[in-house]
């Protein structure tokens, strides 16, 4: 199998099973299936996001509806084994995003005496715009003689005021972000990648996001977060490549050359204290955010995409409060700092105190966490009116290497 | 507002927000909005599942893609308060399934000095085939002088071999099952119902299901569970009303008259030990289930919907193993016992031992848990080959009252 085979994107894992029947018949099919999908039916490829390119997909890709995010610990001391896993993952990931099974043979065509090479729960589903994005955590660079390659910007985030971090939801030697329009496709991908990682990596934590909270493209309607507000209005957008170059993509001379074309991912699991929020007036909610809840327009303006006006006065002072979230987070307040937000809403059972455990799994991509995320979160954690209604309970940072070119693999600029 | 207003289904919560703008302007809009959606744009109603009828929706409704399930404890001693909540919930539920906001005014039109009556995160989304189904747990009947109305069939389930139940994921005085094709719509509904319940009920546990594992209608393709097998092939289907009458709907003379037209819901949180499963051969997996993984056909047959043949012999004995899941669960083995399965796949982070915490949130509806679910689960828990790969970690049973007619409310046959 060559990598090129996967680039056609014309076939899909999701074969239509004809009257193949019993195990005995399946052996035959497996034996002749040189290409996993050679006997498959064609499926529409419009929902395939290409895997290869200058940058990894899943960063400026228009945010898909659902997400499954996993952080791993490395459990091997062998650099060779770890690099072998990265190579295997790359092959699998490219197949998965094309809607194919992880390997030739897959769930049912590999012969009945073999362990199926794909777990099968995505059979029949389309590619669903799946993207898979890998990132390396600070602790990974303590291993494999990588210390000299560690970017200065890649360090565990400092403690911020009111942080209440759960170590079981924080950190990780590496991560994979799976985004797709069908959650079963995202979960299937993570599960199969975790599966082949057995013995080399182990799952540290994972997070399911059921709804995107940010738009990352001007082609998308702005979704709402669990506080009921439109989220992503003033986000960086895929359609503005020069802003992305300035704020998202690492440049060759920024620091470590292997990160050129990559980006840093900051993840924060933010619990929303929805019971307190739900007891406040509309006026208070809009004051806290600084925008109108219905339209998403900045306070004092009419339309969602009107510019924020931090100076003009209404009857009670500036339209946008001094502690409003959008004021403190704005590039005007932060001397030009911006980043790309790409988070998801979550709900994970109950908190044990009679409430839903729900919130925002905040994901941001930036060129340098130390000069972008950190000052922004410092400003917010000190003064944001929103702090009364949220609590940061998980934190992680990862260096996402550049996109993989033909014959490269995830992280090859670092390991070769 | 009359209940009839909600039955038109022509309008939707999801108003298109025009250039309404600032809080001040919103007050005006709220004031003139006699009907929450009077000024709203029309939206397609094809994804509305009617709320009222002989039976509650969400039982034989073709299974929607996503689910949010919540179990509550009652925190009041006042029957009056509890009944008032049920009435309020009924009004809200009927509005929600029509894609409207929970109450007049909603998230943004209720006046800026008021607490919004809807949390707003579903603004802009359609009804998404939302159904809301209520059930009453055994412990509820210890309250409110209800002991004499407790059905004999409604008792905490017995302990089954290998049960490993977590009390924090089991039981509950009552439950609400929200199913929808958009998870944000299901989560929004549960959250708003929980919100107005504050002081009367508190969340005991909740479960998000990201993908349906069963088909419940012949119009649906059979989905796959996390073991990669088609699930729901031999399920009861909405298109066979006489089987549903026999196996799902409680008859007037079964026991308690108030349950006539209702059904019993059994929920089992079943952890799937996917790492062990993923290490077995295709042959073993198919032996365990008794069906082909690709087509879903019974072993020894060709097509998914071919009848199961438990007698015919292959080279190694009966095609369908003596301990195969489908043999033990079949009505042939159980003297005619059947039930309606309506479960969802879940994944909830990691298990703390390097693996994903994933599985099947099994939901079954039946006319009598004691004569249907219990013997079936006894047969399975004793002999099922699947037991090596699963573990039951949560359990609950609820009596779901009949559908609400005009001017009735959830549970009115019990409380009036
Ligand atoms: C649960 C927590 C949070 C909620 C509910 C929330 C909500 C919002 C909302 C509703 C907006 C306005 C719409 C938009 O422009 O996207 C916004 C804007 C923004 N938020 Fe947040 N946010 C949260 C956490 C954070 C965090 C942790 C950061 C970064 C450290 C952040 C950075 C920003 C930025 C940069 C903007 C755009 C500001 C501007 O230039 O107008 N947010 N957020
Ligand atoms: C994680 C646990 C489970 C898995 C993976 C599983 C999987 C399956 C599969 C793949 C089928 C065949 C397709 C079909 O006819 O739907 C099936 C059938 C069935 N299962 Fe399960 N199941 C599980 C738990 C249960 C439980 C707890 C019960 C009830 C106590 C149950 C009752 C049934 C029944 C009644 C059938 C149909 C049997 C027939 O008449 O052919 N299952 N299951």
What value of ipTM does the predicted structure carry?
0.88
Which residue stretches of B308-348 are H helix?
325-329
> Per-residue pLDDT averaged across B331-349, rounded?
96
Residue minimizing CA distance to atom 13 of ligand 2: B231
Whether B116 contacts B108, CB under 8 Å: yes
Whether B229 contacts B284, CB under 8 Å: no
Give the H/E segment covering residue B30: helix B23-32
Whether B293 contacts B228, CB under 8 Å: yes
Residue minimizing CA distance to atom 25 of ligand 1: A362
> Per-residue pLDDT averaged across A22-40, rounded?
27
Nearest to B43 by CA among B98, B80, B93, B2: B98
Q: How confident is the model at residue B46 (pLDDT cuts 50, 70, 90)?
A: confident
Whether B137 contacts B264, CB under 8 Å: no
Chain B residues touching A226 at Cβ < 8 A = 119, 121, 187, 191
Q: How confident is the model at residue B353 (pLDDT cuts 50, 70, 90)?
A: confident
Q: What integer pLDDT is reported at residue A238 of this predicted model?
A: 93
Which backbone phi and psi does A260 adopt, to 5 degrees?
Answer: -60, 125
Q: What integer pLDDT is reported at residue B4 of this predicted model?
A: 30
The end-to-end CA distance of chain A, in Å, is 23
Of residues A153 and B45, more confidently modeled? A153
- Residue A156: how many other CB atoms lie within 10 Å: 13
Give me ligand 1 centre to Cα A270, in Å.
12
| Structure token pair of residue B348 | 């909830």
Chain B residue with CA closest to A290: the answer is B22
Q: Give the integer Cα–Cα distance in Å for A186 and A66.
A: 8
Q: Give the integer Cα–Cα distance in Å for B160 and B383.
A: 12
CB contact under 8 A, A115 and B281: yes
- Chain B: closest CA distance from residue A280 (Å): 5
Q: Give the integer Cα–Cα distance in Å for A13 and A101.
A: 5
Whether B156 contacts B369, CB under 8 Å: no
3-state secondary structure of A318: strand
Place of tokens 């292997």: A258
CB contact under 8 A, A274 and B221: no
Checking A241-248 for CB contacts under 8 A at 24+ apart, the result is A243/A338, A244/A60, A244/A340, A246/A338, A246/A367, A247/A338, A247/A339, A247/A340, A247/A366, A247/A367, A247/A372, A248/A59, A248/A60, A248/A339, A248/A340, A248/A365, A248/A366, A248/A367
> Per-residue pLDDT averaged across B296-301, rounded?
97
Q: What integer pLDDT is reported at residue B314 of this predicted model?
A: 85
> Per-residue pLDDT averaged across B44-65, rounded?
90
Q: What integer pLDDT is reported at residue A231 of this predicted model?
A: 96
Chain A residue with CA closest to B195: the answer is A275
Q: Which residues contact A148 (CB under 8 A, 6 or more apart)?
A: none
Q: What integer pLDDT is reported at residue A315 of this predicted model?
A: 86
Half-sphere exposure of B303 (CA within 13 A, CB side): 3
Of residues A310 and A353, more confidently modeled? A310
Q: What integer pLDDT is reported at residue B282 of this predicted model?
A: 97
Could you give the maximum distance between any two Cα atoms of chain B, in Å?
80
Whether A67 contacts A344, CB under 8 Å: yes
Ligand 2 atom with the shortest distance to the CA of B331: 40
CA B209, B212, B214, B217 torsion-angle sign: positive
| Structure token pair of residue A170 | 């924080």
> Per-residue pLDDT averaged across B135-164, rounded?
97
| Structure token pair of residue A378 | 């410092």
Q: How confident is the model at residue A351 (pLDDT cuts 50, 70, 90)?
A: confident
Within an 8 Å CB–CB cutoff, is residue A218 touching chain B? no
- Residue from the list A169, A203, A210 with its beta carbon closest to the beta carbon of B183: A210
In short, whether B174's Cβ falls inside 6 Å of ligand 2 is no
Distances (CA, A) of A45 to A105, A299, B291: 21, 42, 31
CB contact under 8 A, B292 and A354: no
Q: How confident is the model at residue A46 (pLDDT cuts 50, 70, 90)?
A: confident
Give A 119-178 residues with CB within 8 A of chain B.
119-124, 168-169
Q: With b meaning 16 or more CB within 10 Å and e meaning fewer, what string describes A377-410?
A: bebbbebbbbbebbbbbbbbbbbbbbbbeeebbb
Starting from the CA of residue B382, give the closest ligand: 2
Total residue count of chain A as it appears in this document: 416
Within an 8 Å CB–CB cutoff, is residue A199 touching chain B? no
Q: Give the integer Cα–Cα distance in Å for A414 and A402.
A: 10
**For residue A332, with 0-12 CB atoms within 10 Å meaning exposed, 13-18 middle and 19 or more buried, which class applies?**
middle
| Structure token pair of residue B151 | 């059905």
Q: How confident is the model at residue A314 (pLDDT cuts 50, 70, 90)?
A: confident
Of residues A314 and A336, more confidently modeled? A336
> Per-residue pLDDT averaged across A99-127, rounded?
93
- Residue from the list A19, A107, A352 with its beta carbon closest to the beta carbon of B293: A107
Q: Is B145 left (phi over 0), alpha (psi -120 to 50) or beta?
A: left
Give me ligand 1 centre to Cα A256, in Å.
30
Half-sphere exposure of A348 (CA within 13 A, CB side): 23
> Per-residue pLDDT averaged across A46-54, rounded?
93
Query: What is the 3-state secondary structure of B232-293?
Result: CCCCCCCCCHHHHHHHCCCCCCCCCHHHCCCEEEEEEEEEECHHHHCCCCHHHHHHHHCECC
- CA B361 to centroid of chain Cα atoms: 10
| Structure token pair of residue A396 | 């992680």
Nearest to B112 by CA among A300, A294, A315: A294
Which residue stretches of B98-222 are H helix?
183-197
Residue minimizing CA distance to atom 29 of ligand 1: A377
Half-sphere exposure of B11 (CA within 13 A, CB side): 16
Which residue stretches of A252-344 are H helix?
274-277, 282-289, 325-329
Q: Give the integer Cα–Cα distance in Å for B164 and B404.
A: 37
> Per-residue pLDDT averaged across A223-246, rounded?
96
Whether A405 contacts A394, CB under 8 Å: no
| Structure token pair of residue B310 | 């438990």
Q: How confident is the model at residue B51 (pLDDT cuts 50, 70, 90)?
A: very high
Q: What integer pLDDT is reported at residue A29 of this predicted model?
A: 26
- % of residues, chain A, pLDDT over 90: 85
CB contact under 8 A, B119 and A228: yes
Whether B26 contacts B116, CB under 8 Å: no
Residue A35 has pLDDT above 80, yes or no: no
Q: Give the integer Cα–Cα distance in Å for A200 and B20.
A: 56
Total residue count of chain B as it appears in this document: 416
Q: Which residues contact A370 (CB under 8 A, 6 or more apart)?
A: A152, A153, A155
CB contact under 8 A, B205 and A17: no
Place of tokens 């990598």: A3
Residue B43 has pLDDT above 70, yes or no: no
Residue B147 has pLDDT above 50, yes or no: yes
Q: Give the integer Cα–Cα distance in Å for B282 and B23.
A: 61
Residue minimizing CA distance to atom 32 of ligand 2: B329
Within an 8 Å CB–CB cutoff, is residue B282 touching chain A? yes
DSSP codes of every residue in A132-179: EEEEE-GGGGGSTT-GGG--TT-SPPPP-TT----GGGS--SEEEEEE
Q: Give the integer Cα–Cα distance in Å for A414 and A82.
A: 13
Give me ligand 1 centre to Cα B33, in Å.
31
Q: Is A111 left (phi over 0), alpha (psi -120 to 50) or beta?
A: left
Choice from A236, A362, A370 to test ligand 1 binding pocket (greatest atom count within 8 A of CB): A362
Whether B288 contacts B377, CB under 8 Å: no
Residue A251 has pLDDT above 80, yes or no: yes
Convert the pLDDT of each residue in A52-111 to its tens digit: 999 999 999 999 999 999 999 999 999 999 999 999 999 999 999 999 999 989 999 999
Residue A18 has pLDDT above 80, yes or no: no
Q: What integer pLDDT is reported at residue A333 of this predicted model?
A: 95
């Amino acid at each position: 199998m060559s990598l090129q085979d996967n680039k056609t994107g014309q076939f899909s894992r999701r074969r239509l099973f004809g009257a193949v029947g019993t195990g005995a018949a399946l052996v035959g099919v497996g034996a002749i299936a040189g290409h996993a999908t050679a006997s498959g039916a064609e499926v529409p490829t419009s929902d395939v996001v290409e895997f290869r390119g200058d940058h990894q997909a899943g960063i400026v890709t228009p945010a898909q509806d659902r997400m499954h995010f996993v952080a791993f610990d490395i459990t091997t001391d062998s650099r060779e084994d770890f690099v072998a896993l990265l190579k295997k993952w790359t092959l699998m990931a490219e197949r998965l995003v094309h809607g194919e099974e992880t390997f030739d043979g897959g769930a049912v065509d590999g012969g009945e005496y073999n362990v199926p090479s794909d777990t099968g729960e995505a059979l029949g589903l389309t590619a669903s715009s799946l993207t898979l994005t890998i990132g390396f955590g600070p602790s990974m660079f303590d291993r494999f003689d990588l210390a000299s390659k560690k970017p200065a910007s890649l360090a565990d985030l400092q403690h911020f005021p009111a942080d209440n971090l759960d170590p079981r939801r924080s950190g990780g030697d590496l991560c994979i972000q799976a985004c797709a329009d069908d959650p079963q496709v995202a979960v299937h991908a993570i599960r199969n990648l975790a599966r082949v990682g057995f013995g080399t990596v182990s799952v540290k934590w994972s997070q399911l996001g059921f709804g995107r909270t940010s738009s990352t493209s001007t082609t998308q309607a702005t979704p709402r977060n669990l506080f009921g507000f439109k989220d992503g209005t003033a986000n960086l957008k895929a359609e503005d490549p020069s802003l992305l170059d300035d704020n998202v993509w690492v440049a060759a001379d920024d620091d470590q050359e292997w990160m050129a074309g990559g980006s840093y991912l900051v993840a924060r699991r933010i619990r929303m204290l929805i019971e307190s929020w739900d007891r406040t007036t509309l006026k208070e909610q809009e004051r806290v955010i600084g925008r109108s809840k219905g339209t998403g327009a900045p306070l004092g303006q009419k339309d969602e995409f009107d510019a924020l006006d931090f100076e003009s006065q209404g009857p009670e002072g500036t339209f946008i409060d001094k502690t409003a979230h959008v004021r403190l987070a704005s590039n005007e307040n932060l001397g030009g700092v911006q980043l790309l937000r790409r988070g998801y809403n979550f709900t994970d059972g109950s908190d044990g105190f009679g409430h839903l455990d729900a919130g925002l799994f905040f994901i941001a991509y930036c060129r340098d966490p130390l000069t972008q995320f950190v000052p922004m979160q410092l400003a917010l954690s000190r003064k944001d009116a929103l702090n009364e209604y949220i609590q940061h309970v998980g934190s992680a940072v990862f260096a996402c290497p550049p996109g993989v070119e033909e014959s490269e693999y995830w992280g090859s600029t670092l390991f070769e």
